[in-house]
């Protein structure tokens, strides 16, 4: 996206709209909404540094002392270090599989014409609409029979599978749009089929890979439903599931609770602040064209 | 397409151009995604549909019983009452979300589309909660709404509105509405961005032409922007519908698997989950009933999605 002019918005394509300048009524409405969005997050962050007593007596102000012991309790005693590790492993593995398998399938579907290709593409596309959670009973039995219940693999596999429709959809479109003589030229030069895919085609769809990764990153990282069903053992819990155990255990200890909430929010918020435009575009990718 | 041209002859060991060689490569590229999708998506969903016409004892499948599970779900105590209660709550969540969240989002988008000072910053701020996990959002607001120590009631009391201070999440009268508002707090930025993109996609010439013809600001919005916003609106209505009828995390985390207090926040997904995996307090589990609920939800969601897709396509043709 091109940088916007000093004042005045830009549309999706970066075209400057006619700037209207500084309208107090509009600013007031936007500021109130920004306050309603940010205040709860800021209060959460401040409370994480207070003692429970201070939270009750002075819920809105800055902490008297910026104490860090709440965080260390959450990180070690409440097993957040473990939950973080599990969430990281599951998310990273799922995204890698989605990108690898999705790019391979998108390449085949976007660059070659063959019997059943359109049908297969439609099958993947239908996955965008199918509510997979409604298949949780057979999925539970399947995971049990595969001896994957209560393992991180159960989560990695279901996230990878449910991320494929969006990956195939986005990547097929990108591969299809690449000029046709690119790979013919390489083929005449005698390049192997894998080499053409890996060295020539894949680097050209890198923007699409970023969109697919962001589109799946937040939903996978935040998912609560599948760990709830598949995971029993505490040391295998991902962050969202681990937090429910944590809240049950410390429900009177508000200082620890707020520290836990803050700690859980920090990685996503930090990543969002750095990559906000990618996040906004990636997460609305299904709903906004272009 | 490009692969259909057989590569130049004269290369004895290159078998890419040959039919079988190309077929093998296609299988190699397609197999991983196809197998993963078939095993973990297609098979469970088809099985879930089939499960609803079998009898069940615990997690063991018994014989074929036709539509008996559906008859039990619709006509026997306590299932029929729970079904109606939960379905009604999903409808309430959908309607309230449409009226509050999406209308406010449209208003914000219209303001942002005028390109006021700080547009870029507002976009980033408004979208922030969408990235937060619903577990964090649910627990955070549960603490804020705590009847004694929570900041919401403290604010109301200090503003002289102590008559309004109440256990918002503990009172069956207000629990569902409160939960829907928490949900709206988390999601508001999403429809805002989608509407904003829709408005910005309206060609400048249309707006300018209307202005030159002397149309007022409101007339331009009403007669130029709104009709061209129809695809964005359709998508938001569809996504709100899907979200409202799949509502699970927030009620589960804040109010528990039974949809308390007194089932005032019970929704179809919670009902389904209890039937599939058992209720904590009653221990009641009924996979037959659970599968029947899944089929009903499936039909509802797929039908509405298909109708929306047709509607969208027709609109696109009109606009083109």
The 10s digit of each residue's pLDDT in B256-292 is 999 989 999 999 999 999 999 987 777 788 999 999 9
CA dihedral A278, A281, A286, B2 (to 10 degrees): -70
Do A167 and A90 fall into the same domain? Answer: yes
Q: What is the pLDDT of residues A85-126, one digit of tens each?
A: 999 999 999 999 999 999 999 999 999 888 889 999 999 998
CB of A268 within 8 Å of a chain B CB? The answer is yes
Domain that holds residue A94: 77-236
Between the CA of residue B174 and those of A78, B169, B260, B264, B294, what are the distances in Å?
A: 33, 7, 12, 9, 28
* A chain contacts of residue B3, beta-carbon cutoff 8 Å: 111-113, 183
Provide the number of CB pairs (under 8 Å) joining chain A to chain B.
297
Among A36, A67, A98, give the residue marking a domain's end: A67
Task: Say yes or no to pLDDT of A169 above 50.
Answer: yes
A20·B235 Cβ contact <8 A: no
Task: State how many domains chain A has.
Answer: 2
Q: Which runs of consecutive H residues, i.e. helices, occur in chain B?
A: 19-37, 43-51, 68-75, 79-96, 103-113, 119-131, 134-144, 151-158, 175-187, 189-200, 204-212, 217-220, 226-228, 230-245, 249-255, 268-277, 287-319
Report how far residue B219's alpha carbon sits from residue A116's, in angstroms, rounded to the nearest whole number. 50
Q: Quick one: pLDDT at residue A170?
A: 93
* Domain of residue A171, CATH code: 1.10.3720.10
- In what helix (H) or strand (E) does residue B57 lie, and over which residues does it extend? strand B54-57
Q: Are B253 and B134 in contact (CB under 8 A)?
A: yes
Do A104 and A41 fall into the same domain? Answer: no
* B chain contacts of residue A141, beta-carbon cutoff 8 Å: 59
Do A36 and A85 fall into the same domain? Answer: no
Question: Does residue A289 form part of some domain?
Answer: no
pTM for this one?
0.89
C-alpha atoms less than 13 angstroms from C-alpha of B104 in its C-beta half-sphere: 16
Report how far residue A72's alpha carbon sits from residue B210's, in angstroms, rounded to the nearest whole number. 61
Strand partners, A21: B116
Question: Does residue A224 form part of some domain?
Answer: yes
Instruction: Report the Cα–Cα distance between both ends of chain B, in Å, rounded.
Output: 28
Which single residue is written with the structure tokens 């005028």? B114
Question: Does residue A181 form part of some domain?
Answer: yes
Report how far residue B90's alpha carbon sits from residue B102's, in angstroms, rounded to the nearest whole number. 16
What residues contact residue B281 under an 8 Å CB cut-off, 6+ apart? B258
Question: Does residue A271 form part of some domain?
Answer: no
Question: Does residue A12 form part of some domain?
Answer: no
B102-140: burial string, b at 16+ Cβ within 10 Å, e else: beebbebbbbbbbbbbbbeebbbbbbbbbbbbbbbbbbb
Q: Are A136 and A229 in contact (CB under 8 A)?
A: yes
Among A67, A91, A121, give the residue marking a domain's end: A67
CB of A48 within 8 Å of a chain B CB? The answer is no
Do A82 and A225 fall into the same domain? Answer: yes
Strand partners, B116: A21
Do A139 and A40 fall into the same domain? Answer: no
CB of A288 within 8 Å of a chain B CB? The answer is yes
Q: Quick one: pLDDT at residue B317?
A: 52
Do A103 and A232 fall into the same domain? Answer: yes
CB of A6 within 8 Å of a chain B CB? The answer is no
Do A31 and A159 fall into the same domain? Answer: no
Which of A17, A168, A187 is facing B33, going by the closest CB pair? A168
Do A59 and A124 fall into the same domain? Answer: no
A108·B30 Cβ contact <8 A: yes
Grade residue B8 by pLDDT with cuts at 50, 70 and 90: very low
Q: What percent of chain A has pLDDT over 70?
A: 92
Report how far residue A208's alpha carbon sits from residue A171's, in angstroms, rounded to the nearest whole number. 6
Q: What is the ipTM of this complex?
A: 0.88
Question: Does residue A3 form part of some domain?
Answer: no
Among A67, A100, A121, give the residue marking a domain's end: A67
Q: Quick one: pLDDT at residue B310?
A: 86
Grade residue A148 by pLDDT with cuts at 50, 70 and 90: very high
Do A149 and A211 fall into the same domain? Answer: yes
More confident residue, A191 or B159: B159
Grade residue A4 by pLDDT with cuts at 50, 70 and 90: very low
Do A86 and A145 fall into the same domain? Answer: yes
Domains of chain B: 12-70 (no CATH), 76-319 (1.10.3720.10)
Torsional class of B214: left (φ above 0), alpha (ψ -120 to 50), beta (otherwise): left
Question: Does residue A227 form part of some domain?
Answer: yes
Which of B1, B30, B44 is facing A139, going by the closest CB pair? B44
Grade residue B61 by pLDDT with cuts at 50, 70 and 90: confident
Do A132 and A197 fall into the same domain? Answer: yes
DSSP β-ladder status, B54-57 and B60-64: antiparallel
Report how far residue B7's alpha carbon sits from residue A186's, in angstroms, rounded to the nearest whole number. 10
Question: Does residue A203 form part of some domain?
Answer: yes
Do A129 and A217 fall into the same domain? Answer: yes
């Amino acid at each position: 996206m091109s940088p916007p002019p000093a004042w005045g918005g830009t549309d999706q394509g970066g075209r400057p709209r006619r700037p209207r300048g500084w309208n107090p009524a509009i600013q007031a409405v936007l500021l109130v909404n920004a306050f309603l969005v940010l205040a709860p997050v800021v209060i959460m962050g401040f409370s994480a540094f207070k003692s429970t007593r201070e939270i009750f007596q002075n819920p809105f102000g800055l902490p008297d002392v910026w104490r860090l012991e709440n965080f260390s309790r959450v990180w070690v005693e409440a097993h957040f270090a473990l939950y973080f590790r599990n969430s990281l492993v599951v998310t990273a593995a799922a995204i890698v599989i989605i990108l690898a398998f999705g790019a391979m399938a998108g390449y085949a579907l976007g660059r070659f014409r063959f019997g059943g290709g359109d049908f297969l593409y439609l099958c993947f596309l239908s996955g965008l609409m199918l509510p997979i959670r409604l298949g949780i009973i057979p999925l539970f039995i399947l995971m049990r029979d595969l001896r994957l219940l209560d393992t991180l693999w159960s989560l990695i596999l279901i996230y990878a599978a449910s991320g494929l429709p969006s990956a195939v959809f986005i990547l097929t479109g990108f591969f299809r749009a690449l000029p046709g003589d690119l790979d013919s030229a390489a083929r005449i030069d005698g390049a192997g089929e894998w080499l053409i895919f890996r060295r020539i085609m894949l680097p050209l769809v890198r923007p699409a890979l970023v969109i697919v990764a962001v589109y799946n990153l937040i939903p996978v990282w935040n998912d609560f439903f599948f760990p709830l069903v598949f995971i029993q053992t505490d040391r295998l819990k991902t962050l969202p599931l681990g937090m429910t155990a944590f809240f049950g255990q410390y429900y009177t200890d508000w200082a620890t609770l707020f520290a836990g909430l803050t700690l859980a929010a920090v990685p996503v918020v930090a990543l969002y602040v750095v990559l906000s435009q990618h996040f906004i575009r990636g997460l609305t990718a299904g709903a906004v064209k272009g | 397409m490009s692969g259909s041209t057989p590569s130049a002859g004269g290369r004895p060991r290159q078998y890419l151009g040959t039919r079988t060689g190309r077929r093998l490569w296609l299988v190699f590229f397609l197999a991983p995604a196809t197998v993963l999708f078939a095993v973990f998506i297609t098979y469970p969903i088809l099985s879930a549909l089939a499960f609803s016409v079998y009898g069940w004892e615990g997690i063991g499948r018994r014989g074929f019983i036709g539509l008996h599970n559906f008859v039990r779900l619709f006509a026997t105590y306590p299932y029929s009452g729970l079904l109606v209660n939960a379905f009604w709550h999903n409808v309430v969540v959908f309607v309230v979300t449409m009226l509050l969240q999406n209308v406010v989002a449209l208003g914000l988008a219209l303001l942002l589309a005028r390109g006021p000072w700080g547009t870029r910053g507002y976009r980033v701020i408004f979208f922030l909660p969408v990235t937060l996990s619903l577990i964090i959002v649910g627990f955070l607001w549960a603490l804020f709404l705590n009847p004694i120590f929570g900041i919401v009631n403290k604010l109301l009391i200090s503003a002289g509105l102590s008559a309004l201070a109440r256990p918002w999440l503990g009172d069956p009268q207000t629990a569902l509405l409160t939960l829907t508002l928490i949900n709206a707090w988390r999601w508001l930025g999403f429809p805002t961005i989608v509407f904003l993109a829709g408005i910005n996609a309206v060609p400048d010439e249309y707006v300018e032409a209307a202005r030159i013809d002397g149309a007022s600001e409101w007339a331009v919005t009403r007669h130029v922007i709104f009709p061209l916003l129809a695809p964005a609106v359709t998508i938001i209505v569809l996504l709100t519908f899907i979200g409202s009828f799949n509502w699970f995390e927030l009620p589960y985390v804040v109010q528990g698997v039974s949809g308390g207090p007194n089932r005032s926040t019970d929704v179809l997904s919670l009902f389904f989950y209890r039937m599939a995996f058992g209720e904590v307090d009653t221990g009641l589990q009924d996979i037959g009933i659970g599968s029947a609920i899944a089929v009903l939800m499936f039909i509802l969601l797929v039908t509405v999605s298909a109708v929306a897709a047709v509607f969208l396509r027709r609109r696109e043709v009109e606009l083109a």
